[in-house]
Amino acid sequence: MTESKPATPTARLGIYKQLDAVPESLRLGSYADRYDGTDIWSTWADQATATHTSQRYTTHVDRTARTWKQHMADRGRHHALARPLDIETWAETILDRCQPLSAYQIYFTKLEAFYEWLRYHPDHVHCYNPVLMAAAQHDAVATIWAAKIARREC
């Protein structure tokens, strides 16, 4: 029997449960100069899509990239350096276009995977996942998270 992941985003967060608890020197925004002019999403997407044979998956990765990168550009931040509130405002726009389950399947899984990849990649300084923080603290992302848990795709 395999052990499943905890159902709550808070239980998955690790030591930092909210952005205010993260020391200023470890917050993603502290590394803006390091990421300026780099397309980290494409690096992740190349690796992620290489392991999937589905064109649908690649299409969803590309759709997520377009909406996410534009959202972060509009907010004046690099797409790899989100705050939980950035995730929430993006989720609100996604939920204006589709149902929570579709938002989860098309967009949320890709953004969550991107930030988990960053968190564990040795070339990146990410020590927390702002997607999980947003799911624990904000309504729109919590709605999408609930759709995720209802599907039991944890």
pLDDT (tens digit per residue) in 46-85: 998 888 778 999 999 999 999 999 999 999 999 999 999 9
Instruction: Give pLDDT tens digits for 90-136.
Output: 999 999 999 999 999 999 999 999 999 998 898 888 888 999 999 99
DSSP string, 9-73: HHHHS-S--SGGGS-GGGSGGGGHHHHTT--HHHHHHHHHHHT---HHHHHHHHHHHHHHHHHHH
The residues, any chain, with a CB within 8 Å of residue 77's CB and separated by 6 or more, are 29, 32, 83, 86
Can you give the pLDDT at residue 67? 97
Q: At what angle do helices 84-97 and 139-151 cross, to 10 degrees?
A: 70
Can you give the pLDDT at residue 3? 60
Considering the domain boundaries, does residue 7 fall inside one? no
**Whole-number Å distance between alpha carbons of 154 and 145:** 10
Considering the domain boundaries, does residue 97 fall inside one? yes
Q: Domain span at residue 56?
A: 16-153
Considering the domain boundaries, does residue 95 fall inside one? yes
Considering the domain boundaries, does residue 48 fall inside one? yes
Considering the domain boundaries, does residue 10 fall inside one? no
Considering the domain boundaries, does residue 93 fall inside one? yes
Can you give the pLDDT at residue 153? 55
Total number of domains in the chain: 1
Going by pLDDT thresholds of 50, 70 and 90, the confidence category of residue 141 is very high
Considering the domain boundaries, does residue 55 fall inside one? yes
Considering the domain boundaries, does residue 57 fall inside one? yes
